[in-house]
């Protein structure tokens, strides 16, 4: 497809916004008009245009809600939520990085105002987790054709920094259409768990998924034998890691497969810096990194943003934490459930790792998404319909065999 922005992050986000229209999370005309005013590579212009669009659409949502127009209010709140989330993602690295959280809060507020307006219903819930709770959303199956029996349930596991609206775009809406329940949650280091609770990433993600499964199987509308776990972006590591140990999951999806999270961190480093990492030389690594960051405040702010979900202040400690998210052959051999691995052309962050995972997990299924289909790039941002069809057809076949 013809590019509009040379800046890779902006081009990726442009495709995400356009792809969101498939699930009424954006409106194409609004997006194109807003992006016409964005200067290539200028984060401030992106924030200004997308946050202004969020303000305008939120006002429309509030007017519809006040007038009793439920469907219009939900639709507009969801679009406003998407636009605020997109503006938020460009705040790190600017002179006012605090807008990352401020705009995220506006995104989440619009989402939460949409939640009571869904049909079928969506519940805002709290899942017990290590002395606290994880915020989540349970999407009730479309029960137009039957009673409230136990249904298959898709658990959507977000990536490192995806907004909650991604849950609709990448699986939850498709699950409900097929008569399944769906569930998404904020794990440690994600969304409300990061911004409001100060919980941080962990490599042993089964410690997160097991409480989620415990909570789901206790419900009378969830079929405990037909639970699927689907993960996007960095959750392409977390999901296979979790199902290697949590064997109540009937099927798992990794988009893409990620066996070494830190590859995306290490790729820009010169060899001398990776040597310091591998030698465990924390003092020298941090010292050299600080020199480089002092000379490049934009990169310093961006790296601080990437480090925040790990809960560390040392550069070395952040890289070491990412290194720990590594799936070795022994762990991958523990996976018992069917595993679907997606592999888009031009994967930006973990190229080739889907194929490595597929080779290591016996019986796994690998599906490529191509540029010719308009389905390339990380997590297929502009091909939401194709992705839903591939993933849900595969899950239907797995569920039918249970």
Q: Give the pLDDT mean for 8-23.
A: 97
Residue that finishes a domain, picked among 300, 324, 348: 324
Q: With 80 as the cut, is the pLDDT of residue 147 above it?
A: no
The answer to whether residues 144 and 214 belong to one domain is yes
Q: Kindly report, residue by residue over 203-217, the tens digit of the pLDDT.
A: 999 999 999 999 999
- Average pLDDT for residues 118-126, to the nearest whole number? 96
Q: Tell me: pLDDT of 324 over 90.
A: yes
The answer to the question of residue 2 being in a domain is: no
What tokens does 194 get?
Answer: 């990061």
Range of the domain at 131: 118-261+325-400
Count structural domains, the chain.
3
pLDDT digits (tens, 9 = 90+) for 370-390: 999 999 999 999 999 999 999
Mean pLDDT of 242-261: 98
Query: Both 56 and 154 in a single domain?
Result: no
Whether residues 383 and 254 fall in one domain: yes
For residue 95, what pLDDT is reported? 84
- The predicted model gives 40-56 an average pLDDT of 97
Residue 141, pLDDT above cutoff 70: yes
Q: Are residues 183 and 254 in the same domain?
A: yes
Asked if residue 53 is part of any domain, the answer here is: yes
The C-alpha atoms of residue 339 and residue 219 are separated, in whole angstroms, by 25
> Are 350 and 391 in the same domain?
yes
CA distances from 86 to 24, 31, 192, 286 (A): 15, 11, 17, 31
Mean pLDDT of 48-75: 98
Residue 41 lies in a domain: yes
Residues 334 and 363 in one domain: yes
Q: What percent of the chain has pLDDT over 70?
A: 99
Say yes or no to pLDDT of 6 above 60: yes
Q: Are residues 80 and 218 in the same domain?
A: no
For residues 92-107, average pLDDT: 92
Is the pLDDT at 152 greater than 80, yes or no? yes
Domain boundary among 272, 292, 324: 324
Residue 89: which residues within 8 A CB-CB, separation 6 or more?
13, 100, 161
C-alpha distances out from residue 342 to 81, 128, 349, Å: 27, 31, 14
Same domain, yes or no, for 101 and 193? no
The CATH number that applies at residue 390 is 3.40.50.1820
pLDDT band at 100, cuts 50/70/90?
Answer: very high
Give the pLDDT of residue 87: 97
pLDDT confidence band for 349 (50 / 70 / 90): very high
Percent of residues, the chain, with pLDDT higher than 90: 93
Residues 76, 134 within the same domain: no
Same domain, 249 and 203: yes
Reply yes or no on whether the pLDDT at 143 is more than 80. Answer: no
Same domain, 304 and 363: no
Tell whether 257 is covered by a domain: yes
What pLDDT does residue 146 have? Answer: 52
* pLDDT, position 322: 97
The answer, yes or no, to whether residue 22 has pLDDT greater than 90, is yes
Is residue 80 pLDDT above 90, yes or no? Answer: yes
- Residue 1 inside a domain? The answer is no
Confidence of residue 301 (pLDDT cuts 50, 70, 90): confident
**Does the pLDDT at position 339 exceed 60?**
yes
Q: In this structure, is residue 270 part of a structural domain?
A: yes
- Whether 254 and 284 map to the same domain: the answer is no
Task: Please determine, for residue 315, whether its predicted confidence score (pLDDT) is greater than 80.
Answer: yes
């Amino acid at each position: 497809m013809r590019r509009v922005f040379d800046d890779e992050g902006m081009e990726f986000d442009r495709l995400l916004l356009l792809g969101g229209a498939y699930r009424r999370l954006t409106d194409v005309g609004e997006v194109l008009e807003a992006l016409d005013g964005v200067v290539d590579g200028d984060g401030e212009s992106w924030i200004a245009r997308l946050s202004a669009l969020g303000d305008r659409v939120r006002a429309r949502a509030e007017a519809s809600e006040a007038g009793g127009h439920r469907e219009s209010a939900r639709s507009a709140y969801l679009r406003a939520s998407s636009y605020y989330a997109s503006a938020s993602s460009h705040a790190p690295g600017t002179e006012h990085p605090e807008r990352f959280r401020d705009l995220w809060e506006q995104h989440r507020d619009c989402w939460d105002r949409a939640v009571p307006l869904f049909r079928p219903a969506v519940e805002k819930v709290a899942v017990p987790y290590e002395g606290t709770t994880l915020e989540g959303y349970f999407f009730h199956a479309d029960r137009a054709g039957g009673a409230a029996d136990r249904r298959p349930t898709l658990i959507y596991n977000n990536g490192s920094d995806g907004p909650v609206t991604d849950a609709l775009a990448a699986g939850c809406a498709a699950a409900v259409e097929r008569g399944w329940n769906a569930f998404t949650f904020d794990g440690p280091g994600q969304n409300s768990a990061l911004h409001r609770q100060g919980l941080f990433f962990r490599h042993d993600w089964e410690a997160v998924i097991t409480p989620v499964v415990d909570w789901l199987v206790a419900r009378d509308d969830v079929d405990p034998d037909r639970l699927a776990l689907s993960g996007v972006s960095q959750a392409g590591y977390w999901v296979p890691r979790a199902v290697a140990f949590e064997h109540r999951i009937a099927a798992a999806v990794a988009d893409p497969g990620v066996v070494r999270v830190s590859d995306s961190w290490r790729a820009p480093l010169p060899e001398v810096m990776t040597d310091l990492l591998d030698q465990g030389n924390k003092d020298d690594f941090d010292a050299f990194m600080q020199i480089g960051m002092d000379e490049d405040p934009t990169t310093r702010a961006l790296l601080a943003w990437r480090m925040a979900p790990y809960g560390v202040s040392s550069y070395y400690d952040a890289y070491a934490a990412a290194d720990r998210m590594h799936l070795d052959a022994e762990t991958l051999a523990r996976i018992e459930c069917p595993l679907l691995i997606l592999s888009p052309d031009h994967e930006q962050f973990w190229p080739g790792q889907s194929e490595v995972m597929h080779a290591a997990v016996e019986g796994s299924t690998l599906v490529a998404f191509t540029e010719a289909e308009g389905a390339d790039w990380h997590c297929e941002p502009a091909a939401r319909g194709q992705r839903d069809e591939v993933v849900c057809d595969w899950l239907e076949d797995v569920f039918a065999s249970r």
